[in-house]
Each structure stands twice: as C-alpha cells, then as structure tokens.
C-alpha cells in the first residue's frame, strides 16, 4: 500500500494549478536563495479574483457513524458503515513491523502473509483461489515498518463466505514447504530486480543513510540474504508469536451493520489470547542532524537522486502544516524544474506517515548540480517568504480536495482509519487532523519548512563527474 513516486508525480500534474496559484500571487521564486540569509518578507500583491471563491470539498460519502468495540479478549475493531456502495473492505493489522524482525529474518511477515494465502488446514490453495475468483473477492497483504496487514475486499452479498476464508487464512495457514518455497523464490527474484531498478535502488540507499542504527534499518521487504534463509518452520513459529489480540487491529468499512461485524469478530477470534505485547514509541533517527551524500557510479540513461530527511510523525502538531508545505514544495518543483527549465520530468517531494517519520525529495536529471540548486532555491523560498493568507486558504482547499478524492474507496478509508488508530493517536483524530489542516496559517508554513527541510541524506546513481559533493551536503 505504498505510493510509488510516479503516482505522486501524476498528482503533481493534475494539481499543478497550486504552483500556478503561487505565481499568480506574484511570489517570484527566482534568485531567492542566498546562503546565510534569514530575512522574512511577505508578498504584498493583489490576489486574483478567481481565488476569492473557495473550492467545495469533495467529501467522501460516510452514511453511518464510525465506531469501535473491544472484544472480551482484547481485540479492538473499528467499523464504519458506508451505504453508498456494496463493497466491504476488511483489514486485519499486526503491530510491530520492524520491531518484530532482525537482520537475519527481515521480510518474514511479508513472506508469512503471502504464504498464508496458499492454503490452510481446512481449505486447499486451489479451493481458496476458485472461491475467491467465483465471488470476485480479493485477498492482499503487505509488510510495513510499523505493522503488517492482511486485507480482504468483497461485495456485500459474499461477505459471510469471504469473511470465513479470510479468518481461516489468518488462523490456520498450513505453510506447506513447497508453497513457501515458491512464494519465497518469487519475492527473492523481486528483491534482486530491485537493485537493477535505479528508482528502487536509490530509495533504498537514501533510506539506509537515515535509518542507520535504527529499527527501520531492517526492511520489512527483507533482503535477498534474509529472505533466502527463511523456512516454513520459521513462518510457523513467527505466526504463533504474533497471533495475539494485543498485537491485532480489525477495521471494517462497508454497508454492513455493527452488530454483524461484532458477532463475526467475537466468534472468529474469541479464543485468541491477548498476549504480552506492549506498544512503544519508536526512537528518533540518530543520523537526522547531519547531511549525507552517497554516490553509486553506474552507467544509466540519466542520474537518479533522492534525499531522505526526518519529518514530524502523524501524531505530531506539525504534521498538518508540513503536509501542506510538502504539497506546495512539490508544485514548486514541478513549475520551476520541469515547466520553466525542462531539467527533469520527475521532481518530487513526498511526506510519509511512519511512527518515526521521514520525507524525501527526488529527481531524475542529466544535470544534477543545476537541478538541485533550483530545488534548494524553492526550499529557501518557502523558508524566507510568507505566503499571503487568502491564497494559502485556496491552496489548503485544493490540498483537502485531493485528500478526500483519495478516500473515495472503502479500502482507502479503512487504511486511513487504521493508520490513525495505530500511529496517529486514535482513529477519531482523523477528523481533528482535517480541521487542523484547515487552520494552517502562512507563518506555520514558513516555520515547519525552517524546522524540517534540512539535513538531507542524499543518495545518487549515475555519473559521479556531474555531482558536486559539497553542494549536496550543504543542507
């Protein structure tokens, strides 16, 4: 459920009006950056009449209330009834993520939940696949830095049987040796190809610089070495370890009533023990206070660059303002790097939502020094200028419209509810976050840009002769 850079870039194309709005307001970003200057100015320019009218937010339909319950044995469930469609999304989360793994078994939960779908003690792999196909039901899984998830999507008329299949996969996976080997080999092949993809490899290298000496250094995707060493016995042991209600969270979004969901959860998982899992705050990144640069010399068509840096987590007061700031920065990159100078088709700025959070800027370009200088200029612009309040309101309105658009599916709503429940201080803070975004002020944008847009951990793949190392470690 990760978002690839290309998706973010497409969103930039669709929402480039945001950057255009800044230009309309007369905020010229050319030549703004001068090393050591911290002067603050406010653009005193008339705002176009078109900006006077706020966009109407495309709020996703939420017909029923969102509620929660906890079973007698400690399993928390979040339920949202949505009557606007007949799709039911169910997601079962397992807390821990990178805390559950080591360098030796990194990737075990990614393999575990994929292999669990290949047959249970009660239903064969072939029968599972036939039934899923006949009902149009989809099972999916993912491993993450903070949690893993096994998800199911079905139509309401098939909810009962689809739920039974999902529960059996969670509780009774058989982990057949041959099936485990087949899935493991597929994942290992994908990991090998990752190093052959400059986009994937530069992201991996940049993350490693920031994640050094941190639990996140053990990737939930695993490595070729760690994944190759995992066995069916390892999966069975790890499955027993994590199968406790204290680690789990169930989220259900769809046109199903609370009483039915409660009955299903209690009857299906009522015999599990709570276990002794205790949630702990993820430590901060020990490498976050110093910029870094790592160059990989490789013959590629262009240069691949990514700079990862520490960012406020989902439950931090600065997260709403920095979300808007990163959105503005992305549009400035689009306007200044691609449209105005044609230096790249893919300059990006993305904020993640992990427990120990980070963000990154990235670009592919044949002119790395020139391009990074332009990108640094945009950062300096946001750190020195204060955007006028009325244009910012329009920017925030557009940002929230994009946000709501991404929540149109029940799957997306379930994922967002879980994200806030697990990392954001509770699912009910989701609406609070939206209100906080709406209250972001011009001074907030400048403040968070000064606080977080620094100490970049750059990795680059390409021709080393085109890179000025001093430039890349200057911020």
- Residue-wise pLDDT for 240-271, tens only, equals 999 999 999 999 999 999 999 999 999 999 99
Q: What is the pTM of this model?
A: 0.87
Contact 105, 116 (CB under 8 A): no
Q: Which of 25, 29, 13, 48 is nearest to 339 (CA)?
A: 13
State the sign of the Cα–Cα–Cα–Cα dihedral 20, 320, 312, 296. negative
Q: What is the pLDDT of residue 362?
A: 98
First to last CA, the chain: 31
Domain 5-59+282-472 and domain 66-269, same fold? Reply is: yes
Give the model's confidence band at 49: pLDDT under 50 very low, under 70 low, under 90 confident, else very high: very low
What is the pLDDT confidence band of residue 33, given thresholds at 50, 70 and 90? Answer: very low
Q: Would you place residue 64 in the very low, low, confident or very high pLDDT band (cuts 50, 70, 90)?
A: low
Percent of the chain clearing pLDDT 90 (strictly above): 80
What pLDDT is recorded for position 427?
A: 95
What is the number of alpha carbons within 13 Å of residue 341 lying toward its C-beta? 19
- Distance, in Å, from the CA atom of 247 to the CA atom of 277, rounded to the nearest integer, reads 6
Question: What is the arithmetic mean of pLDDT over 99-118?
Answer: 97
pLDDT for position 346: 87
How do the domains of the chain map onto residue ranges?
Answer: 5-59+282-472, 66-269
pLDDT at 27 over 90: no
Tell me the average pLDDT across 234-242.
98
Query: Which CATH architecture is the domain 5-59+282-472 placed in?
Result: 2-Layer Sandwich (3.30)
Question: Is the predicted pLDDT of residue 470 greater than 80, yes or no?
Answer: yes
Q: Which fold has domain 66-269?
A: Cytochrome Bc1 Complex; Chain A, domain 1 (3.30.830)
Q: Is the pLDDT score of 15 beyond 80?
A: no
Q: Based on the number of CB atoms within 10 Å of its own CB, is 290 exposed (0-12), middle (13-18) or buried (19 or more)? A: exposed
pLDDT digits (tens, 9 = 90+) for 130-182: 999 999 999 999 999 999 999 999 999 999 999 999 999 999 999 999 999 99
- Residue closest to 11 by CA, chosen among 439, 346, 415, 455: 346
Q: What pLDDT digit, counting tens, does each position of 272-316 carry? A: 999 999 888 899 999 889 999 999 999 999 999 999 999 999 999
């Amino acid at each position: 459920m990760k978002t690839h850079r290309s998706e973010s870039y497409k969103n930039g194309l669709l929402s480039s009006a945001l950057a255009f709005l800044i230009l309309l307001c007369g905020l010229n970003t050319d030549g703004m950056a001068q090393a050591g200057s911290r002067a603050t100015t406010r653009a005193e320019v008339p705002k176009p009449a078109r900006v006077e009218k706020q966009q109407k937010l495309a709020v996703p339909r939420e017909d029923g209330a969102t509620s929660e319950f906890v079973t007698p044995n400690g399993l928390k469930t979040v339920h949202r009834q949505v009557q606007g469609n007949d799709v039911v999304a169910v997601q079962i989360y397992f807390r821990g993520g990178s805390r559950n793994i080591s360098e030796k078994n990194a990737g075990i939960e990614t393999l575990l939940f994929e292999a669990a779908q290949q047959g249970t003690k009660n239903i064969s792999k072939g029968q599972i696949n036939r039934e899923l196909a006949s009902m149009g039901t989809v099972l999916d899984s993912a491993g993450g830095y903070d949690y893993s998830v096994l998800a199911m999507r079905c139509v309401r008329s098939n909810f009962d049987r689809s739920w039974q299949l999902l529960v059996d996969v969670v509780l009774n996976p058989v982990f057949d040796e041959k099936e485990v080997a087949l899935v493991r080999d597929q994942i290992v092949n994908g990991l090998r190809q990752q190093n052959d993809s400059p986009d994937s490899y530069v992201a991996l290298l940049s993350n490693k610089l920031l994640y050094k000496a941190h639990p996140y250094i053990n990737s939930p995707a695993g490595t070729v070495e760690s994944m190759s060493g995992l066995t069916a016995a390892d999966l069975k042991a790890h499955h027993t370890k994590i199968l406790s209600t204290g680690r789990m969270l169930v989220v259900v979004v769809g046109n199903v009533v609370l009483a039915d969901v409660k009955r299903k959860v209690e009857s299906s998982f009522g015999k599990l023990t709570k276990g002794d899992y205790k949630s702990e705050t993820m430590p901060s990144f020990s490498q976050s206070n110093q910029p870094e640069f790592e160059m990989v010399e490789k013959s590629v068509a262009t240069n691949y660059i990514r700079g990862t840096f520490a960012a406020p987590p989902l439950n931090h007061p600065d997260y709403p303002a920095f979300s808007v700031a990163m959105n503005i920065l992305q549009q400035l990159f689009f306007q200044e790097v691609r449209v105005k100078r044609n230096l790249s088709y893919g300059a990006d700025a993305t904020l993640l939502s992990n427990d120990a959070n980070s963000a990154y800027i990235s670009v592919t370009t044949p002119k790395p020094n020139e391009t990074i200088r332009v990108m640094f200029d945009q950062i300096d612009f946001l750190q020195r200028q204060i955007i006028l309040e009325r244009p910012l309101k329009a920017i925030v309105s557009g940002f929230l419209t994009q946000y709501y658009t991404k929540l149109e599916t029940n799957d997306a709503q379930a994922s967002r509810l879980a994200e806030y429940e697990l990392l954001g201080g509770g699912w009910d803070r989701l609406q609070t976050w939206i209100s906080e975004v709406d209250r972001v002020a011009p001074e907030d944008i400048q403040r968070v840009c000064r606080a977080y847009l620094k100490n970049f951990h750059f990795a680059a793949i390409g021709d080393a002769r085109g890179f000025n190392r001093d430039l890349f470690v200057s911020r």
